[in-house]
Chains A and B, each alone.
Chain A
Amino acid sequence: MNTSRFFLAGILGVNLLGAAALPQSTSNQAALAKQSSIVFAGTVSQLGATSFAGVPKSAQTIVVRVDTVLKKPSAVSLKKGDSVTVELKDPSAFQQGTQATFYTEGWIFGSGVAVKELGHRIIAGDVASAAAAGASEPLVDQTQNQVTDQELQNRLNAADFVVIGRVTGVHRWTAPKSATPQRVSEHDPDWHEAVVEVQSVLKGAQVKGNKVVVRFPGRNDVAWVHSPKFAKNQQGIFCLNRDQTSGMSTEKVGGHQVTVYTCLGHGDSLPMSDAPRVRSLLKN
């Protein structure tokens, strides 16, 4: 009885391991890599353990020795030979010595790095193979302000308009008395307006007169530090939403009342060099 149970478990285990070990489709890996903030190849050194104090230990946590770092934010210190705590989705797929590429997001940062698994790919063979597998994928060292594809995709989905345009003028905007009363706060946005000449619309309907007014915070307060600031003659790709923030959603331009937009989020203003990436993501 016990023998047959072990036999069955063994077959299942081999199949599962085999399935995990099979190279997943490139598109799946690419999607996982895009989703992940930290990707590395490594070798499991401890099960049910953590690599530094301050990380809650559980059956889901393992310690992995890093063989190759494939992707990480620039702020994060992580290199070959470091021990990383990984919180796994399913610890049964791992044992000491298992080599895998880990697709993860950050979790806790202390004397070491702890991450949460988003996915993994078991690597057959030895450490050299793992390193080689890693070497086939380029190191992506994200700068702190770089917008990931995932973040940009989310932003494009949420935008009312995505346009390519050029800023023809910038001026301070003073809210009329009929608008929501402005309060004095260190987070006061100090609203400015940019007039953007639309050169092409990537998302949304055509714009009347090919000009839009974009309201943006001029203040360098912490509340608005990630909001784009506009300058005359600036050209770029702008993710716009109808203004629901400043208290006045329209503005008179050339005698006509026009809708005013905002462009407030990190990555709402992109350089022209991002045009192919934006077009590609908009197709998804």
Chain B
Amino acid sequence: MKALAAFWVRFLTLATFVTIAGFVFVRGQSPTIKVVDLIPASLSGETNQDSEPFLAVQAVNPEIMVASAFTPNPFSANGNAPVYISEDGGNTWVLSAITPVQRMTCDITHAMPTGENHPRGDLHAGTLACASFITLDESESNDVSTSAVMNVQSTRTNVDQPFVRALGISNSDHIYVGLNDFNQPSGHTATVDVSVDGGATYRSVPIEARKTSGQDGPSVRPAVARDNTVYAAFFGWRKFSGTVATSDVVVVRDDAGGVGPLPFQALKDPSDKLPGRIVVKRVSIPWSNAPTLGQERIGSTLSIAVDPNNSSTVYVGWADHGSKGDIYTLHVRRSTDRGVTWSKSDLPHTTIRNATNIALAVANNGAAGLLYQQLSGGRWVTHMVQSRDAFATIQDVILANVPANVPAEQFLPYLGDYDYLLAVGNEFRGVFCANNTPDLANFPQGVTYQRAADFSTKTLTDGSGSPVAISIDPFYFSVPVKP
């Protein structure tokens, strides 16, 4: 009898241990993973579709961060479009209307290098203002905490999707803005705006060297290493049917910060000796400016990341039609020789069906991070994957797993044409957008809401107890880098 009791005690103890260990292992949980809904408590009544997030981290003081989304000015149609600012490492955020755009941007990305020694947030932003004309502003704030409106340094019309990366070098900020510039001649629209004087002057560098369908794809993505090596990836559109782009995925490189007489021409493709290495040739990319992947549109999903300490190693990720039956499939390839040669096929675990919003980053120790959002079983599942061995073995953390059919789309993009990932010290930090139902089951790593939310009844409130409809919110996260 005693022996039987002892057996059951041992069995139950072991079962409990296995259950706990299994839970922690399966979820890949770490007590230091942080997920925070950016909407502040004082805007608990908002129901906007705050989609397409972006994040900048102050290089010398990573407690200071700026995030953005398609969040309108909360009090005025004539007021400035706001950004979210954190001064405590992402635990709390305020909304401050500092962009030069009226009401709401229709594209915004930004970076915070510190070459100019503005330790409280030297923010460089590329914004699109969409009124009668689409206008690009390249602007700067020397201290994001002052709430002063950003100073516009350069402006022009007829461009698309500015994507800002920056590097602080000695006493100046080097800024690289990838964009699709319809002002460029001969349909060579893929362009990088380069500034090596903190945005005081910009030089527009077309990076397409081949014949296009009349233009390149919208996404042009720079990546900067600490040694001043700058890469840029773009979709070289060779044919466009209206619903499908036949596209090369092209990577260019510059070894001196993009300031020489022939910038971004360090890589030549062996097939035609032209600048720009073709990573994959003539892939089929569906173009659908309507709800297609769940309620999201698809057509231009691209990311590039360089090892900050070893600029020979560079990753590129994109989405295309994939195999038969797929809507949109992600792929990641890698080069370890400065973009000269690339892996012939997708890295292991990186052919990901029915997914979008790929964002890559490489940490100081060489760990590669991969953020993406996958439509699976009627839900949007946000994954943060890490690997130390080119994705041969991976750690996959699910940050959010939310219903994809609610709320109804207010406009496109539903979640964003991109999200964003950065490596900061021993953390991967990033932002994504998701349905904001306060349900802990939707956030396997846990979540912090600043806005008023009742997790027991899974309802949002306006701060006075009245219910608020579910909407799309931006979420900040931090995940420790795999040692």
A interface residues with partner B (beta carbon < 8 Å)? 37-38, 52-56, 73-79, 105-113, 144, 147-148, 150-151, 154, 181, 183-188, 190, 219-226, 244-245, 262, 264-267
Contact = CB atoms under 8 A, between A and B. Distances in A.
A113 B106 contact: no
Given A109-B94, A110-B41, A111-B41, A54 B75 contact: no
Interface stretch (B16-24, B131-139, B252-260, B387-395): B131-139
Contacts of A111: 40-42, 92, 450
Contacts of B407: none
B160 A225 contact: no
Given A77-B464, A110-B95, 16 more contacts: A53-B88, A54-B92, A54-B94, A55-B147, A73-B45, A76-B75, A77-B452, A106-B75, A106-B97, A109-B43, A144-B48, A154-B78, A184-B240, A187-B106, A222-B52, A222-B106
Contacts of A186: 160-161, 218, 289, 297, 299-300, 412-413, 417
Interface in B48-74: 48, 51-52, 70, 72-74
A77 B468 CA distance: 11
A174 to B, nearest CB: 12
A142 B247 CA distance: 47
Given A107-B147, A109-B42, A245-B133, A183 B72 contact: no
B74 A106 contact: yes
Contact of A264 (B43, B48, B132): B132
A150 B77 CA distance: 10
B182 interface: yes
A266 B131 CA distance: 10
The dominant DSSP class at the B interface is loop
Nearest to B160: A185
A262 B132 contact: yes
Contact of A105 (B79, B94, B128): B79
A109 B72 CA distance: 13
Contact of B411 (A55, A220, A266): A220
A156 to B, nearest CB: 14
Interface string B255-277: 00000000000000000000000
A245 B79 CA distance: 23
Given A110-B41, A110-B95, A267 B85 contact: no
Interface string B122-163: 000000101111100000000001110000000000101100
Contacts of B51: 222
B215 to A, nearest CB: 6
B31 to A, nearest CB: 25
Which 5 residue pairs of A and B lie closest in terms of their CB atoms, listed nearest first?
A77-B463, A106-B75, A110-B94, A223-B130, A54-B94
B416 to A, nearest CB: 10
